[in-house]
Structure 1
Amino acid sequence: MKQARYEQRGPVPQDVIAAVESATPAPAPGQVLVEVLAAPINPSDLLTLTGEYGLLPPLPAVGGNEGVGRVAALGEGVSAPAIGTVVLLPPSGGSWSTHLLADPRALLPLPEADPVQLSMITVNPPTARLLLTEFVDLQPGDWVIQNAANSAVGGYLVQLAALRGLRTLNVVRRESAVAGVRELGGDVVLVDGDDLSRRVREATDGAPVRLGIDAVGGGATERLAQSLSEGGVLVNYGAMSGEACALSPAQLVFRDIALRGFWLARWYRLAPMAQRVGLLQELAGLITQGALRTRVQAVYGIDRIKDAVAAAAAGEREGKIVLVPNQT
């Protein structure tokens, strides 16, 4: 088997990782061997390689924190999931590998569907779904505004909002990203700018916008806050700008805008198992039905892991980069 391993962290993520070959292990008693079908490269993976993420595994490590596989062999004493079952890999790291050993109790059986789309249900779709449901009690017809709308989370949020009858105001940072968000079903797509709040009011005819979702930080946070109704909630889950959230007293004090944070890893740690499994099964069902998808720019085999990581780290992509480890 081959694994994408790194022994150090550094500022250029593709420079620290490489495909390393070793013998394919046999599952020990109580284990299963899984052939990895697909594993995405997420921003959190890149931050892990550079040492900037909130949770860092001990070195040396194998990259990747989500993916799907197919059960290839059972260790002694294991009867399920059966050989051939498609399973969601546990979010414990090491998915950038052609094969891995796992505790069968940590594997969630999935329906047969496109493994590339299924491989991404652990991080971005739950983030989008929880951002929509955990902070403001929205009703069909309500508006929600988000920036980084052309990101993977943004695309899932557009689709999940539509399924709930919500209307989306989608903010992007470049004109070339507008068409892709509209294609996914975004109701209104706006390029960010100083007059954002005015354009939001025009697009909604002054209707309330009670929930804002921020992945950028810096001045973009303030512009979203200005676009919200009085008493609105603004949730930050990322800092694509590299800057801290900027929020003026005019928004916090005089308009009672609340700024909250969201980190999916914390939600996974605190949520009951039944709630976590239920959410993942819900999302897998939507993907299987074709009701939920994300754009994929390219797939790479594990021998091209450096190229894959470099592509994921590049700006202005038009979709996710996904590792299909056993692809030649």
Structure 2
Amino acid sequence: MSVSRLASVLPRAARHAPSALSRAILRPFSTSKARLARAIVYTENGDPASVLQALTIPDVTNKPPPSHAHVRFLLSPINPADINVIEGVYPSRPTKTDNLGTREGLGSEGHPVFVGGNEGLAQVVSVGEGVEGLREGDWVVVTKQQSGTWMSERIVPVVDVAKVPGREALTEAQAATLTVNPPTAYNMLHDFVDLKEGDWVVQNGANSAVGQAVIQIAAAKGIKTINLVRNRENLDELKQSLTNLGATHVLTYDELADKAVREKIKGWTKGKEIRLGLNCIGGKETTMMARLLGKDAHLVSYGAMSKQPLSLPTSLFIFKNLTAHGFWQSQWYKTRSAEERDELMKTIVQLIAEKKLDTPEIEVVKIGKEESDTAASETIRGVFKALSEGKYGKKVLLKLD
């Protein structure tokens, strides 16, 4: 079931019967002419389908202070890591705020909340004194980790955002997803092995947003990929979709377990050793994949979707001199200069402009201003319930009017 269909069947009776909490939030603004904005918040860690809620807040009306900008969010992705953040199991954690402008209740002084979201595209509404290089109408992406992007708008320090280069070549969806998945794919393909045209890479989780970016960036450089996915009902359709992106071969983990297939892989590579493996799964699936790697290869892990330990045969280290790494794009940003970060973004934008890289299939979840907080909360919780059940494979982008 798609998110849009899911949202359409969620209860809407609450629009006409706001909760006591909603009434408390809305009361201070009911007689004023102030516009209203929205934020997706939570007060404690837990299952996103249970703890997330929509909160009506005052729209920004004041001029930004010096070195700040007033931005209005256009699209904010929902990434797998966002789920882990809300659950409280992700290393990078947000900070609670009680400065959302509400006069009482959640988000007001003494009643702090977490604002969800780590990645987002916004448009500059106005800038404060001393701001250079940004002006009204510019597109920016948030660069500060866990700063809260699931909002209609907010005032941000300009050091926490970066101007999107070459925005005329990008759709909103492409710009909104610039800072996490494509950079992860690009850096893993470039930072560990000096890959040349004709070299081979093997990866699991190949249908993920990062996996699809790996396929496209590798294909643009003439690098061949073996891509592993789990078995499913629409397997042939998925294999064709990844092949259309540039995948050289697509296999399921069940197929990989067949020794005959492993011999077939040797024929595909014509004896050329696979020097780079990319892992976001863990568990036995990664153990099988690691056995495909050749001498002096590198295994890079950037996720653990199976929630199982990474188990590697000692023989791979002794006889093949395997090197295992962990990769976290957030850490890359923390340790690199602003010039390096800007150069990476320009490179990703150039790949998109040249039609060598695109976003996965997307679905926009729109929450309108006419929805009550109760109804909007049901919608966002329904989205996360659908995500946890794996009912669709599209990338979800959030739009708050």
TM-score, with normalisation over the residues of structure 2? Answer: 0.77
Aligned partners of 2:144 and 2:160 also within 8 Å: no
Cα deviation, 1:127-171, whole Å, max 9, x if unaligned, reads: 000110011111111011111000000000000001111111111
Instruction: Tell me by how many angstroms 1:318 deviates.
Output: 2.2
1:69 aligns with 2:122: yes
2:193 partner SS: coil
1:17 aligns with 2:52: yes
Aligned partners of 1:294 and 1:319 also within 8 Å: no
- Which residue in 2 is equivalent to 1:6? 42
Q: How many residues align?
A: 325
Alignment match of 1:207 (pick from 268, 272, 276) = 272
Q: Give unpaired runs (5+ residues) of structure 1.
A: none
- Which residue in 2 is equivalent to 1:53? 90
Alignment match of 1:222 (pick from 272, 276, 287) = 287
1:107 aligns with 2:107: no
Amino acid corresponding to residue 134 of structure 2 in structure 1: P
Aligned partners of 1:231 and 1:256 also within 8 Å: yes
Alignment match of 2:151 (pick from 87, 97, 122) = 97
1:190 partner SS: strand
Cα deviation, 1:88-118, whole Å, max 9, x if unaligned, reads: 1233321111112112233322213211121
1:145 partner SS: strand
CA distance in 1, matches of 2:131, 2:294: 55
Alignment match of 1:256 (pick from 321, 336, 351) = 321
Larger radius of gyration: 2
Q: Give unpaired runs (5+ residues) of structure 2.
A: 1-36, 97-112, 368-375
CA distance in 2, matches of 1:263, 1:316: 27
1:179 aligns with 2:237: no
Aligned partners of 1:296 and 1:322 also within 8 Å: no
C-alpha distance 91-197 of structure 1, shift in aligned 2 (>3 A): farther
CA distance in 1, matches of 2:139, 2:318: 51
Instruction: Tell me by how many angstroms 1:80 deviates.
Output: 4.1
Moved over 6 A (4+): none
Instruction: Tell me by how many angstroms 1:19 deviates.
Output: 1.3
TM-score, with normalisation over the residues of structure 1? Answer: 0.93
Instruction: Tell me by how many angstroms 1:184 deviates.
Output: 1.3
Structure 2 matches for 1:249-328, cutoff 5 A?
249-302=314-367, 303=376, 304-315=379-390, 317-326=392-401
1:85 aligns with 2:138: yes
CA distance in 2, matches of 1:96, 1:270: 26
Amino acid corresponding to residue 318 of structure 1 in structure 2: G
1:28 partner SS: coil
Give percent identity, aligned residues only.
Answer: 33
| Higher relative contact order, structure no. (Cα contacts within 8 Å, ≥ 6 residues apart) | 2
